[in-house]
Amino acid sequence: MRQGKSKIRGEVQGTFLKGCVYVEEKFYLILAKNSAQMLLINKLLRENGIETDLVPSPPESGTVCAIAIKIQGVNLEKAKNILFENQIEVRGIYEDKKMKLQGLIDKKLGASVSKEFLDILKKIEDGDELLEKEIVYLLSTKDIKEIESIYAAADRIKRETVGNVLEIRGAIEFSNYCCKKCKYCGINSQNKIERYRMNEEEIMEVVGYLNKIGLRTVILQSGEDPHWGTERLIQLIKRIKIETGMRITLSVGEKSFEEYESLKLAGADNYLLKIETTNRKLFKTIHPDGDFDSRLKCSRWLKELGYINGSGNIIGIPGQTIEDIARDILYFKEMGINMIGIGPFIPAKGTVFENMPPGDIDLTIRTMAVTRIVCKKVYIPSTTALASLSKDAQIRALKAGANTIMLINTPAKYRTNYMIYNDKNMVDIDSAIYAAKKAGLELPKYLKL
């Protein structure tokens, strides 16, 4: 479902012709009280023939990045009746308004940048969706003034959607065993590295520390390790919930619908599963034992199950074009992705890409900024991969649309073996606080230091 003018009856869809005046179609967002209710409503509406889309909820709804159900204005009354008949009381129903941003263009700027750029900026001001070729323009312009205004627009959209506060999450890379053959990744099954697997007690010790310093979310990441299967994960999730009440983000790869469902029921809140690239051919090249459609299906399941859904891509992976990156950004938008991890490619020792050049830092930061402009209210981490290439780049990203930092809390004795790429940097709480200060971001109120 696309906002604004799209096609109906082969002509202009989403627009009503009144005399000769085009009127934009309205969309509404239904905000449920919790994710179980959201899933129920989504199911009921779809069963009754109402087309729905799950999207990040708007800023005024309070919770950052919870999921809202988007419906077309023509279906509003029918949807309300369905809610009434099923005695469902929701948190609210809002019109899905475009985000207008007055003042991006001033006279001085108008005289110094291209007409094409001004037209794109005007669309951003009006809250209109950008086309692929416009995104390509933003990603590739070399004009300093234009680049500065892209970063300024991204920073403003960040402040107006998720605020000027740094989100801090703690990651535990609990196993580097992996059965996959991803060509770029240093822990792929064929790479000869020392393998480790943390046990539940070791993980809980780190979780206890993260809880003590006040963090709200723990990220559990690993290779696709069958010895840390779904049953064992469920036990761990339940224990974390009981002992700390923290939110849990899983990043443990592709699984079946039933597995994702039982992990969600056990208490997992968020899931990171990056698409890496939306170019199918490139996806196959870099994932010789992977399948683009399966990855896509997993991401859809995660969304349908009510996870806060994380995706992302790698910038500068050998064979990638700017058009590919533009399409990745449009994919994040269309899929209603809530967390978007954008990192530069970094060659990993022992892999077939070992001697390839790393991804471009500026292009990575630019992609983050354009993603903020296009996707608006989402979490964008200033990634560990970016910090690994340059600490300064991590700070620059926080000034250009990124709003999250993921700490690496894997115990020191294991950390050096979680080398998904070379010279992976250590991001700890002190460096996160330093980066926030340098980037002019507030620290979250939940930190207890």
Binding site for ligand 5AD (CB under 6 A): 184-185, 274, 276, 314, 343, 345-346, 348, 385, 420-421
Q: Which amino acid is at 170?
A: G
Using CA atoms, how far residue 49 sits from 6, 212, 333, in Å, is 20, 48, 24
- Closer residue to ligand 5AD, CB minimum distance, 216 or 274: 274
R_g of the chain, CA atoms, integer Å: 22
Closest approach, Cβ 385 to ligand 5AD, in A, equals 5
Which residue lies nearest ligand 5AD, judged by its C-beta?
421
Kind plus residue range of the DSSP H or E element containing 27 = strand 27-31
Angle between helices 391-398 and 429-439 (to 10 degrees): 50
Closest CB to ligand 5AD among residues 255, 274: 274
User: From the CB of residue 271, how many other CB atoms can be counted at a distance below 10 Å?
Assistant: 28
- Which residue, 38 or 385, has its beta carbon nearer to ligand 5AD? 385
The nearest distance, CB 269 to ligand 5AD, in angstroms, is 18
Residue in the structure block whose two tokens are 């980037």 = 439
Identify which of residues 95 and 354 has a Cβ nearer to ligand 5AD in the complex.
354
Burial level of 35, CB count in 10 A (0-12/13-18/19+)? middle
- CB 355 → ligand 5AD: shortest distance, Å? 13
User: Following DSSP, what letter does each residue of 103-126 receive, concatenated?
Assistant: TS--HHHHHHS-HHHHHHHHHHHH
Residue 331: CB minimum distance to ligand 5AD, A: 15
Q: How far is the CB of 343 from ligand 5AD (least distance, A)?
A: 5
> Minimum distance between the CB of residue 353 and ligand 5AD, rounded to whole angstroms?
7
b (16+ CB within 10 A) / e for 219-235: bbbbbbbeebebeebbe
Which residue number, 356 or 375, has a Cβ lying nearer to ligand 5AD?
Answer: 356
Closer by beta carbon to ligand 5AD, 44 or else 426: 426
How many Å apart are CA 182 and CA 228, to the nearest integer?
Answer: 19
Instruction: Report the residue number, 105 or 337, with the smaller CB distance to ligand 5AD.
Output: 337
In whole angstroms, the minimum distance from the beta carbon of 182 to ligand 5AD comes to 7
